[in-house]
Chain A
Amino acid sequence: MSERIGEIIEANTNGFTVHCYKLYESPPLGSIIQSGIPTIFGVISEITTEPLDPSRPIIAIGQNEPTEDEIYRSNPQLNNLLCTRLTALTIGYSNNENFSHGLPPHPPRIHSFVYLSDNHYIESLAKSFDFLHLLLSSGTNDEVVSACLRQISQKLPDGYPFLIESGQALATELIGQFPRLNAILRRLS
């Protein structure tokens, strides 16, 4: 299994929020991550870095520092006061190697470890485009959809046919919404 990236700190059946172990070290937008038993798969739809304590707003402190990195070196406490969180939309789950598209019966537990999905799972996921409907109807930014498809295609041995097929699937999903489809396709090309 791939590298562990964090733990679930908030979850529902539609998605979950992950606290990353390291500041600024989250997988890119659109990546597929997995967690829990049964394994639940999600697409990273938002990445946030913010203060751990919402009551302590961040102020600018680098006026006399020559570089941005110097700010962190001079203020090592920042690494503990800030955190990187990511939000994932659930697209499927697997139980004993049987992959199911759609929402799981239960959300993952809090503090479940979260991993970046490996290629084996991504290839099974890419066999169907049912996850596109979940993403498009979740209200998330269409950029997430294009980012996710790009991420998957990079993991596959031959990504171009996958992109064409996903474009066709999008055309069926977004019937009557040509400008939206066109915008996503432009980001895929």
Chain B
Amino acid sequence: MIVENNMAQSNEQSLLGHVVSGSLRDGIEIRMGNQVSVEDIKEGTYVTIHGQKKSFFGLITNVKLMTTDPNLQFSYSTTDNPFISEVISSSMTYGSLSVLPMLTLPAVLGADQTVEPAKTVPSHFSQVFQASERDVEVVFGKEDQTHFFIGNPLDMETKVCINLDELIKRSSAVFGKSGTGKTFLTRILLAGLIQSDLASSLVFDMHNEYGSTGQDRDRGRRVSGLKQIFENKVSVFTLDPENSKRRQAKYDFEVQIGYNEIEPEDIQLLRETLNLSDIAADAAYTLERVLGPKKWLQRFLEMEIDEVYEKAVAWNIHAQSARSLHNRLSRFKRIGFMKPTAIDDSVKRMLDLLGKGKHVILEFGRYGDNLTAYMLAANLLTRRIHDRYVYMKEEAEGTTKANEPRPLVICIEEAHRFLNPAVAHQTIFGNIARELRKYNVTLMIVDQRPSAIDSEVMSQIGTKVACQLDNDRDIDATLAGTSGSRELRSVLSKLDSKQQALIFGHAVPLPVLIRTREYGSDGSYADLTRPSWHTTDFGVETEEELEERLKELF
């Protein structure tokens, strides 16, 4: 694809003004021409600046009212006298835009020439235009297997695509206050992963919103879940079959967790939710040692409370701690999916499916509201899957790349429960976030309190998608370490609470404010299953279909 990015297109675009001052660090100032009204310019709009040698692509971060004379604001005649008002408003006042130059665009875009981060600023009086649809397309790429259409820039119909290859290389995060569309966005991102077939995904579906059906609470309608859209590519597992039946939601497999699968580390993770003291939580390690690995929990829970008291002394555990541990762990008995021994090795089944390129959604049914159950199941399953991936990856080392395990994205909600500073070092999620892509497993974190997530984990997140956030600490945590964070901060705090998100990080060449793509209409589902790039010249979707057609012919 060769796209001439020359100045000829300038005429089609609307001239906003000229560069008058600025710096690379603080952004540049644009004096707006009189023909453009400040009221028509929105923060977050893209502009292209035609410098003498290069074109720049930037983001409007502030709109200001300026005067050439500071005394103007003290004069009444500027408002009382219509003649003076007309003269002054067209000469001494002007709009000014702060623009953060993000990228430089080469004069001609060829296969080996791409956009680059801006390392300088355009020269004085360079012309500034509102970015055209084609500029945006050049920057974000055309929709294809690795570029997934996620939404449109505000006020534009161009498709903003995120680079899924980059998205899955590192962990990603979706942040936003409750009710700002986190789930919708996550569902769209997952749909992108399924559509592209670049990675498998495992979704811990706390509120049963991804697999079967989801809710569009604003429009009061139900939207299709991923299983409904991608019937053959998605498997739904449930921890609560009763609930699934009641919801008339189809599921493929039931998951049970045996006591033998629980390890002392899981108890550490649950320390806060179970309200256990440090000593009580640590006692689990002693119990594992004295009662035997895999059998300890089963044996411990079978004991009467008096027996626990008696043996505690012999085990060298504080008696009260042992008692409270016994007491709290007895809650496991009330969790339906926890059995002394599981009927089936669910993890193995999941791994098989993930290995075949399927996507697994684990519905929690009623247990989504039970934090203990959610954390226990998520941590335990992820640990085993991760162990397996580490094994597969090590096995594949030294052989061809084809033997490597298929990339896996694990999507968790309420992520701060697993990744807060107190437990992030102990949970497997903390490990995955830190180890990055070494083992081809990354996280997709969905959370409403980014400030509660360990800063070490936050620093490893590659791509962040932020819906509206209004808590200062959450905004700080989200933007920590991002270049231009001061400018982005004001963009982030002014997001609409619906259908708007700021995406920044590895998967996009520059921070982008988007209106999320449509999800919920029949047309939108069709776009997901049959994206425009997917059809071949013969009008069929895949190679298999093509082969079938060939067989039919002969």
Contact = CB atoms under 8 A, between A and B. Distances in A.
Nearest to A160: B83
A175 interface: yes
A172 interface: yes
B83 A176 contact: no
A189 to B, nearest CB: 4
A185 B83 contact: yes
A182 B72 CA distance: 10
Given A182-B77, A186-B77, A175 B68 contact: yes
Interface in B92-132: 92
Given A167-B91, A171-B92, A178 B84 contact: no
Interface string A155-184: 000000001100110111001101100100
Nearest to B34: A168
From A170, A178, A188, name the one whose CB has the most chain B CB atoms within 10 angstroms: A178
B154 to A, nearest CB: 34
Given A172-B91, A179-B71, A164 B86 contact: yes
Nearest to A174: B69
A188 B72 CA distance: 18
Contacts of B87: 164, 167-168, 170-171, 185
A167 B83 contact: yes
A182 B74 CA distance: 12
B84 A185 contact: yes
A168 B91 contact: yes
The secondary-structure label for the interface of chain A is: helix
A188 B77 CA distance: 13
Contacts of B91: 167-168, 171-172
A179 B78 CA distance: 12
Chain A CB within 10 Å, residue with most, of B68, B69, B75, B81: B69
Given A168-B91, A171-B92, A186 B69 contact: no
B81 to A, nearest CB: 5
Contacts of B92: 171
Contacts, number: 45
B88 interface: yes
Interface residues of B, number: 16
Given A175-B69, A176-B69, A182-B75, A168 B83 contact: no
A103 to B, nearest CB: 27
B49 to A, nearest CB: 25
A65 to B, nearest CB: 45
Interface in A63-100: none
A189 B87 CA distance: 10
Contacts of B90: 164, 168
Contact of A163 (B69, B81, B83): B83
B88 A189 contact: no
B392 to A, nearest CB: 72
B69 A189 contact: no
26 contacts: A163-B83, A164-B87, A167-B84, A167-B86, A167-B87, A168-B87, A168-B91, A170-B87, A171-B68, A171-B88, A171-B91, A175-B68, A178-B69, A178-B71, A178-B72, A178-B75, A179-B71, A182-B75, A182-B84, A185-B77, A185-B84, A185-B88, A186-B77, A186-B84, A189-B81, A189-B83
Q: What 3 pairs between A and B have smallest CB-CB spacing? A: A167-B87, A189-B83, A171-B91
